Amino acid sequence: MARVLMRSLNKKYDEVPAVIDVNLEIHDREFVVLVGPSGCGKTTTLRMVAGLESITSGNISIDEKIINDLPPMDRDIAMVFQNYALYPHMSVYDNMAFGLKMRKFDTPEITRRVQEAAEILGIQELLKRKPRQLSGGQRQRVALGRAIVRHPQVFLFDEPLSNLDAKLRVQMRVELKKLHERLGTTAIYVTHDQVEAMTLGDRVVVMRDGRVQQVGDPMELYTNPANRFVAGFLGSPAMNFAGVRIVAQNGGLWAEREGIRIAVPKPIVPRLGAYAGKEVTFGVRPEDMRIAGAGDPQDLSFDAAVEVVERLGSEILLDVAVGSATMVAAVEPTVTAKVHEKLRLAVNPERLHFFDNATEAAI
Amino acid sequence: MIEGASWRRWVFFYVPVTGFVVALLFPFYWMVITTIRPDKELYRPWNAANYTPFWTTNPTLEHIRALLTETLFSTWMLNTMFISLSATAISLFCGLLAGYALSRLKFPFAGSIGTGIFITYLVPQTLLFIPLSDIIRNFKLGDSPWALILTYPTFLIPFCTWLLMGYFKSIPKELEECARIDGATRWKAMIYIIFPVAIPGILSAGIFAFTLSWNEFIYALVFLSSPEQKTVPVGVTSELVRGDVFFWGELMAGALLGSIPVAFVYSFFVEYYVSGITGSVKG
Amino acid sequence: MATAAEVAAPRLQYVGSPPRGPITRLLEDERWLATCLMLPTVILLGMFIAHPFINGILLSVTDTKVGVPGHFVGLDNFVKIWHDDIFQVAVWNTCLYTFVTTVFKLALGLWLALLLNRHFRGKAFMRAFILLPFIIPTVLSTFAWKWMFDPTFSVLNWMLFHVGIIKTRINWLGDPTLAMASVIIVNVWRGVPFYAISLLAGLQTISPELHEAAAIDGAHAWARFRHITWPLLLPVTLVIVLFSVIQTFADFQLVYVLTGGGPANATQLFATYAYQLGIGTGLLSQGAAISLAIFPILLLVVIVQLVYIRKAETA
């Protein structure tokens, strides 16, 4: 049972807070991704779990045992670093065997485990080489192998794919996922890349400025972001935001701004009621907008002027001006739109988001 | 780059470089020639007619023989070797540990101690030799190699520490962190991971320390008195001169042979020596 | 979810490893480990630098002689040496010696470094051979020079005579002015390689593209040197000069072997005079005072240079 628990975790560097009041429960066999912009505290949190940073206050426990004061070597964890951290003076075999030697495993057992890991990762022919003779992808595999042989309770990953080129990154992402399916070890993965977060995590933890913004499975975070930051962070191209005023009219609510007048969908009305007459932020994702057709209701669409047309092949991104706001709409590749053309865009009423201007929380 | 006519290359490059090389190496050539020149050729006034400075027609090994059999030169060589190796070993040991602590660990007063070590490097031996001779006497170390083995590190350690700090700083800290997660204690991580990776630095520091020890003079002059204890520089200076008479043949033989160990070590490790100088200057 | 009581339990349990002994746990702590690592160095340097330094100060304010314990005399010794003719000569000599040798070492070293800063066959050999004067023990190579300077048998005299520059012998080490010149020559000879190699390393960090851009802009060799090479080389130069000045100021071996301080104190330096007084005649306190007199000047030089280095680095 390798459940990782973080309770009221805080970290300060000389009075400057880096991690603030983090409470997380990571279930056994779960792959959890900590994601956020640089400086958000995700790496610091990971390093506290590893024992490389001291804990200012709060507790971390692995497998129901508090590990706050344990040195890294006694925590039964393994870590994969961004620049692999392979021991340059040792062969691949010795790199992988190092941890086992430190823990006084006997030689036959070491050989067995290293061979096993090498097979899983496909690096058997590389065992005698030195790190400087390996490519980036191979080094990453060795770093993984070094972590696997120890059969630890928890894997820690510190942006392991950042140093790889784009193509290799995609490949390794898939392999990591397969590896996790196969080994099933609890894993904490830190990245700034939201694509990695969405694709790899069983659950995703979005962090910002030292605090946890939201925890949940990727789709949950995507469709129901808890605040404006999470909404804007996940998804590419990012969600469109516009400041609107809520107006009560004809027994219903409207979201209005220059060029836009949208009827607030019935399910959301109760929540927005308190905001009548006030300003809120309206959010809609590019893929939840489309060119208005004959059957689309008038009160769920608005006029837009095309400024840029970006053809990606699988879809077309239209950068449009709506009044004084600019938005991006992702539409079918069959759409023919030209610059300066005026269109009418319709939005999906089930995919509208509103955020409180003061707290940034989702309404 | 000197482009253009090859006469320019000659004037601006080949001639000056040759000039430098000749000027820098001539004294050694002179050392060698004098060593193998028989006495009667040696003591010919420079304005005598048959003065042939640059070669000799009757090379002899007499001076070398006399040096090795009639003086304590071999003892001096052994002394100096022993002292230099021991002092180097001690300085490397201290320098490694101190360099690691100063560059990889956080502890109170790290900055001041680092500056303090740097400052001791600036305190020349000629400042300390008089009070130090007193201290050596009090510790009953006078006239023994230990007087030097323990005092040489005072100018070797700061340099070794500084050089090794530069090397350590270039080793990414993830290596140690990974080792500690893998199961190594801080101590083991330092010894099994950091030190092996810093071997070029260790070699540079060691060679530099060895040559500096061999070269030291004033402490050896002041702390050692009996002829059997002397080091090569001191022995050659004090014992190969009787009254006002300089036995130049033996002197040059002594100078030549005394330089060989250092030149030998140096020749194998030139790259390390050079990177030692440049590393310390850039750091 | 763990209850508050469970999570608050203070007892440590090791997750997957055997318990460790007290020393291991002590050394895991960053501060204790650092203390243990620094201890040998601090002890050695404390015993053999800090301790004698303080003793030196104490010695200099007493009137100790060899075998005779001394009494406190305040600044008497310093007053005595201040009025001592020989001391004044030694101060002047040391300053002159340091200044002249540094200028020459820098100029020649820089020239040699510029010459070597290109690719040519045998470059590695060249570098190795050129460093020899610096590697070989000073005393030993100085003896070679002494032999070369010998009034009766000097090969230099022979060469100069045959080239036609001189008619009678040059008394390199016997004439006071020439003796200083000779000592300077040997010091420069010894120091040029160190300067050259260090400056060469500095030169090699200057990207050749800078020179190429300047050349395209129309700058000729001297202008390129003045505006590109020299400013970029300044930090390294200052560091090298700092070390060299300190060493030269406290120089002993060279003068001791070559002239012993003579003739008639023409080449007497701080260090040789301190030796003569302290060890030679046994006036320990006065010797200590002279040695210490180096310190303020040295400190001044060091501070001035460190300030310049700091400025050059942040400029």
Query: Could you tell me the residue ranges of all domains in chain C?
Result: 12-60, 76-314
B1 contacts C51? CB cut-off 8 A? no
Residues of A in contact with B195 (CB under 8 A): none
Question: Is residue B65 included in any domain, yes or no?
Answer: no
| Residue range A289-326, pLDDT digits in tens | 988 888 788 888 888 899 999 999 999 999 999 988 89
**How many residue pairs bridge chain A and chain C with CB atoms within 8 Å of each other?**
43
Site of tokens 């998804």? A235
- Tell me if chain C has a CB within 8 Å of the CB of A196: no
Cα dihedral A191→A194→A198→A200 (10° resolution): -30
The residue ranking higher by pLDDT, B153 or C296, is B153
What lies within 8 Å, CB to CB, of A41 at 6+ separation is A11, A18, A19, A20, A22, A207, A209, A210, A211
What lies within 8 Å, CB to CB, of A170 at 6+ separation is none
User: Which pLDDT does position B267 carry in this prediction?
Assistant: 78
CB C313 within 8 A of CB C231: no
| Nearest chain C alpha carbon to B151 | C48
A88 contacts B177? CB cut-off 8 A? no
User: Which pLDDT does position B5 carry in this prediction?
Assistant: 63
Q: How far is C20 from chain A (nearest CA, A)?
A: 10
Angle between helices B62-70 and B248-268 (to 10 degrees): 90
- Tell me if chain A has a CB within 8 Å of the CB of C14: yes
SS (H, E, C) B17-83: HHHHHHHHHHHHHHHHHHHHCCHHHHCCCCCCCCCCCCCCCCCCCHHHHHHHHHCCHHHHHHHHHHH
Count H helices, E strands: chain B?
17, 2
Strand partners, A34: A190, A205
Strand partners, A263: A254
Domain A4-233 belongs in CATH node 3.40.50.620: no
Does one domain contain both B105 and B232? yes
Q: What is the pLDDT along chain C (315 residues), one digit of tens a residue?
A: 444 433 333 333 334 556 667 777 777 788 888 888 999 999 998 888 888 888 888 888 887 777 777 788 777 778 888 888 888 888 899 999 999 999 999 999 998 888 888 777 777 777 778 888 888 888 888 988 888 888 777 777 777 777 777 777 777 888 888 889 999 999 999 999 989 988 888 888 887 788 888 878 877 777 778 878 888 888 888 888 888 888 898 888 899 888 888 788 888 898 888 888 888 887 888 888 888 888 888 888 778 877 876 776 665
Q: Could you tell me the two tokens for B68?
A: 């090795």
Q: How far is B274 from chain C (nearest CA, A)?
A: 7
Delimit the domains of chain A by residue range.
4-233, 240-356
- Tell me if chain C has a CB within 8 Å of the CB of A103: yes
C169 contacts B13? CB cut-off 8 A? no
CA within 13 Å, CB half, C191: 27
The residue ranking higher by pLDDT, A86 or C285, is A86
Residue C245 Cα distances to A21, B124, C51, C297, angstroms = 57, 11, 25, 11
The maximal CA–CA distance of chain C, rounded, in angstroms, is 104
Neighbours of B41 (CB within 10 A): 18
Does one domain contain both B159 and B206? yes
Q: What is the CA radius of gyration of chain B?
A: 24
CB A283 within 8 A of CB A351: no
Report which secondary-structure segment, H or E, holds B86: helix B73-104
Q: What is the mean pLDDT of residues A333-350?
A: 88
| Nearest chain A alpha carbon to C4 | A7
Q: What is the mean pLDDT of residues B84-98?
A: 94
| Residue range A176-218, pLDDT digits in tens | 999 999 999 999 999 999 999 999 999 999 999 999 999 999 9
Distance CA B122, CA C302 (A): 9
B259 contacts C153? CB cut-off 8 A? no
B251 contacts C130? CB cut-off 8 A? no
What lies within 8 Å, CB to CB, of C96 at 6+ separation is C180
Distance CA B220, CA C270 (A): 19
C192 contacts B266? CB cut-off 8 A? no
- Tell me if chain B has a CB within 8 Å of the CB of C241: no
Neighbours of B166 (CB within 10 A): 20
User: Which pLDDT does position B243 carry in this prediction?
Assistant: 67
Q: Which residues of B touch A (CB under 8 A)?
A: 172, 174-175, 177-185, 188, 192-193, 196-197, 199
Closest by Cα among A8, A23, A100 to A55? A8
B237 contacts C44? CB cut-off 8 A? no
Does one domain contain both B109 and B32? no
CB B142 within 8 A of CB B223: yes
Count of domains for chain B: 2
CB C134 within 8 A of CB C191: yes
Does one domain contain both B47 and B95? no
Distance CA C272, CA B221 (A): 12
Question: Is residue B250 included in any domain, yes or no?
Answer: yes
Spacing of C-alpha C207 from chain mean position = 29
The residue ranking higher by pLDDT, A295 or B99, is B99
Question: Is residue B1 included in any domain, yes or no?
Answer: no
Q: What is the mean pLDDT of residues A128-137?
A: 91
On the question of pLDDT at B206 being above 50, the answer is yes
CB C86 within 8 A of CB C268: yes
Q: How far is A327 from chain C (nearest CA, A)?
A: 43
Q: Is the dihedral of CA C182, B240, B213, C44 positive or negative?
A: negative
Count H helices, E strands: chain A?
9, 20
| Nearest chain C alpha carbon to B95 | C41
* Helix intervals (H) in A264-357: 269-272
Does one domain contain both B88 and B55? no
| Nearest chain B alpha carbon to A74 | B183
Q: Which of B178, B184, B193 lies closest to A79 in CB terms?
A: B178
- Tell me if chain C has a CB within 8 Å of the CB of A1: no
End-to-end CA distance of chain B: 28
Q: What is the mean pLDDT of residues B166-174?
A: 87
Does one domain contain both B56 and B128? no
**How many residue pairs bridge chain A and chain B with CB atoms within 8 Å of each other?**
62
B188 contacts A87? CB cut-off 8 A? no
User: Which pLDDT does position C3 carry in this prediction?
Assistant: 42
On the question of pLDDT at B210 being above 60, the answer is yes
pLDDT confidence band for B282 (50 / 70 / 90) = low
Domain A240-356 belongs in CATH node 2.40.50.140: yes
State residue A311 phi and psi, 5-degree precision.
-95, 115
Distance CA B281, CA C243 (A): 9
What is chain C written as a DSSP string?
Answer: ---HHHHH------SSS----HHHHHHHSHHHHHHHHHHHHHHHHIIIIIHHHHHHHHHHTB--BTTB---B-TTHHHHHHHH-HHHHHHHHHHHHHHHHHHHHHHHHHHHHHHHHSS--TTHHHHHHHHTHHHHS-HHHHHHHHHHHH-TTT-HHHHHHHHHTS-SS---TTTSHHHHHHHHHHHHHHHHHHHHHHHHHHHHHTS-HHHHHHHHHHT--HHHHIIIIIHHHHHHHHHHHHHHHHHHHHT--HHHHHHTTT-STTTT--HHHHHHIIIIIS--HHHHHHHHHHHHHHHHHHHHHHHHHHHHHHH-
**CATH number for the domain running over C76-314:** 1.10.3720.10
Q: Is the ipTM of this complex over 0.85?
A: no
Parallel/antiparallel/unpaired status of strands A279-284 and A352-356: antiparallel
Task: Please give the model's pTM, rounded to 2 decimal places.
Answer: 0.80
State the residue range of the domain holding B37.
6-60
Closest by Cα among A283, A281, A285, A280 to A328? A285
CB C270 within 8 A of CB C291: yes
Does one domain contain both B209 and B247? yes
On the question of pLDDT at B138 being above 50, the answer is yes
Residues of A in contact with B105 (CB under 8 A): none
Residues of C in contact with A64 (CB under 8 A): 2, 6
End-to-end CA distance of chain A: 38
On the question of pLDDT at B283 being above 60, the answer is no
A76 contacts C17? CB cut-off 8 A? yes
Site of tokens 């020439």? C178
Residues of C in contact with A103 (CB under 8 A): 17
